[in-house]
Amino acid sequence: MSDQIFPLRIGRVSTFVVAVWIGVFLVLPVATLIVADLGLHDVTRILGQLSTWRLLWFSAWQAAVSVLVTGLISAPITWLIGRHHFRGRSILRAVTTVGFLLPSVVVAAGIQAVLPSAMQYSVPAMVVGHAYFNMAVMVRVVGSRAELFDDRIVGAASLLGASPQFVWRTVVWQSVRGSVISASVVTFVFCFTSNAVVRLLGDPRRSTIESDIARRAFGIGDISGATVLALLQLFTVAAILGLASARWAGNDRASQGTSPKLPGIPSHHRTTAGAIIVGTTGFVVAPLMALVWRSFHVGETFSLEAWRSIFEPMFLSTIRGTFRIALTAGVVGMSLCVLATLAIVQLPRLGRVVDALVMLPIAISPVTVGLGLILTFDTGWFDWRAGWWLTVIAHSVVALPLAVRVLLPAWRTTPHGLHRAAANLGAGAWRRLVDVDLRRMKPAMTAACGLIVAVSLGEFGAASLLSRDGAETMPVAIARLLSRTGDAFRAQAFALASLLVIVCLMVLVTVEIALMRGSRAARR
């Protein structure tokens, strides 16, 4: 989209609004953490403890192991989807994405429901939970790159006498290496900053930095200690992303080419492919089925009591509050998303700045965002700590990167001729924006709004700090119930998690339908 389509003032106004929102509700809270009223004693107290560095070491090595396990579990299905065309391929790819889009608390509850009691609170359970959650990252990133690989290169190398091992090392691996590293870095960051999975599946005696931040902030009231740990985590993540970006930037430039036509599954691989499909589908579906099954059992006895209880006034208040926050976050986030994407496509230079701003939440954990908001908006007329809208603000910030990535292609595929025709008929800039762009982008906007709602429904990190007694969200309530002893509480947690799964899947189906409609509209 060129500068002539809309007056520059529209893009500048959009830039200003998005920059103010991100600046006030993300940059300022993080800056407040950095310049918080911390004495040298607070810093030395935390950084001088051996336990702090044990937290950092455990956070790092469990994340590294989680990346390795995620890669091993994802490799077969990534090979199948990335290198073959077959009936049901798009459905199978959607199945692999379910875990990533479901609330992390639901994922943890599902893994807990399917594992035997002896393994429910252990490092292996936590690693499996991370693999379930992040499998979609590997499949989407590496699989998309694998689709672009041309098998004729391998054939040419083989004809020249290269061994299969040499071809793999010098041709295949060199082609997908950048995408593997990128997916691994993203997965590492997600596992390093994981909270809900660690809290619900991990060994209670071992914490990550992220879970210890939440524990210090509201478990023992050590705000200064939580702030120091949040800064340590922030700097560590920034260093990891910076090193990865500098080392692997531009590695996959060849991926910009046209995707070759994928072959079908060879007959001698069909048994293997079937096993991969069944195994992957079972890995994704089994925890969700176990979740529903356990919700109908109190101990070993079949009972509907858990489902009856979640529709009593106490839980109904939680459900209504969660939906109110999610729907409001969808409206606010969608408005920001439209403004951000308009600025990105309208202004070449400022657009790059806006794009960088909206991607900041990827590098900052939700717990850090929540802690920063609490420290920033805690005095005077903007003491919003008890207000539900502070959770809405946090969710609108956390979900913005995903929504922007969905909406950007719709802006960029709008034919310029439509704008020129509308301008020739006398339509002004704002009229063209509404009648040409926004009307044409309804499917993409629906998908982006649905993603924001889905993220808000399941967000746990910031909500665990911002929610209050009597006004908690469903993920926070699920975590609280699972932390209590007694089969009745666990059944209630599983019932509440099952309800959240149903709602999230409905939202995600809506998103998928909207994306399909948008894709068909773009082809027309």
Give per-residue pLDDT as tens, 193-218. 888 888 888 877 778 888 888 788 77
Task: Output 426 or 269, whichever has higher pLDDT.
Answer: 269
Could you tell me what percent of the chain has a pLDDT over 70? 80
Tokens of 229: 């740990």
CA gyration radius, the chain: 24
Please determine, for residue 386, whether its predicted confidence score (pLDDT) is greater than 60.
yes
User: Where is mean pLDDT largest: 44-58, 207-221, 409-423?
Assistant: 44-58
CATH 3.40.50.720 fits domain 61-208+259-297: no
Q: Report which DSSP code applies to 487.
A: H
Residues 6+ apart with CB under 8 A from 330: 449, 450, 452, 453, 456
Confidence of residue 300 (pLDDT cuts 50, 70, 90): confident
> pLDDT at position 520, please?
60
At 254 the pLDDT is 43
With the C-alpha atoms ordered 308, 313, 315, 319, is the resulting torsion angle positive or negative? positive
Backbone angles phi, psi at 477, to 5 degrees: -65, -40
* Mean local confidence (pLDDT), 11-28: 88
Mean pLDDT of 401-421: 70
- Confidence (pLDDT) at 163: 67
In sequence order, which ranges of 359-473 are alpha helices (DSSP H)? 360-363, 366-376, 389-412, 416-424, 429-432, 439-440, 442-458, 461-466
Considering the chain, what is the average pLDDT of its residues? 80
Q: Is the pLDDT confidence value at 462 over 60? A: yes
pLDDT tens figures, 133-189: 899 888 888 877 777 666 666 666 666 666 666 666 666 677 777 778 888 888 998
Q: Quickly list H helices, 193-222.
A: 196-201, 209-214
The confidence score (pLDDT) of residue 279 equals 92
pLDDT band, very low/low/confident/very high, at 70 (cuts 50, 70, 90): very high
Residue 387 near residue 454, CB atoms below 8 Å: no
pLDDT-based confidence at 6, cuts 50/70/90?
low
- Mean pLDDT over residues 245-271, rounded? 62
Q: If residue 297 lies in a helix (H) or strand (E), which one and from where to where?
A: strand 297-298
Q: What is the pLDDT of residue 4?
A: 46
- Asked if pLDDT for residue 114 goes beyond 70, the answer is yes
Q: Using the predicted structure, report yes or no on whether residue 236 has a pLDDT greater than 70.
A: yes
pTM of the predicted model as reported, rounded to 2 decimal places: 0.78
- Does 364 have pLDDT greater than 70? yes
Least confident of 37-46, 113-122, 329-338, 418-427: 418-427
218 or 98: whose pLDDT is higher?
A: 98
- What pLDDT is stored for residue 186 in this prediction? 85
The domains of the chain are located at 61-208+259-297
Q: How confident is the model at residue 21 (pLDDT cuts 50, 70, 90)?
A: very high
pLDDT on residue 66? 94
pLDDT at residue 524 tops 60: no
**429-447 mean pLDDT:** 69
Q: Is-contact 354 411, C-beta < 8 A?
A: no
* pLDDT at residue 65, as a whole number: 95
Question: Could you tell me the end-to-end alpha-carbon distance of the chain, in angstroms, rounded to an integer?
Answer: 18
pLDDT of residue 132: 92
Which of the two residues, 147 and 445, has the higher pLDDT score?
445
Instruction: Give the pLDDT score at 427.
Output: 57
Structural tokens at position 148: 């672009």
Task: For the beta carbon of residue 215, count every other beta carbon within 10 angstroms.
Answer: 16
| List of residues 6+ apart from 501 with CB closer than 8 A | 102, 106, 288, 291, 292
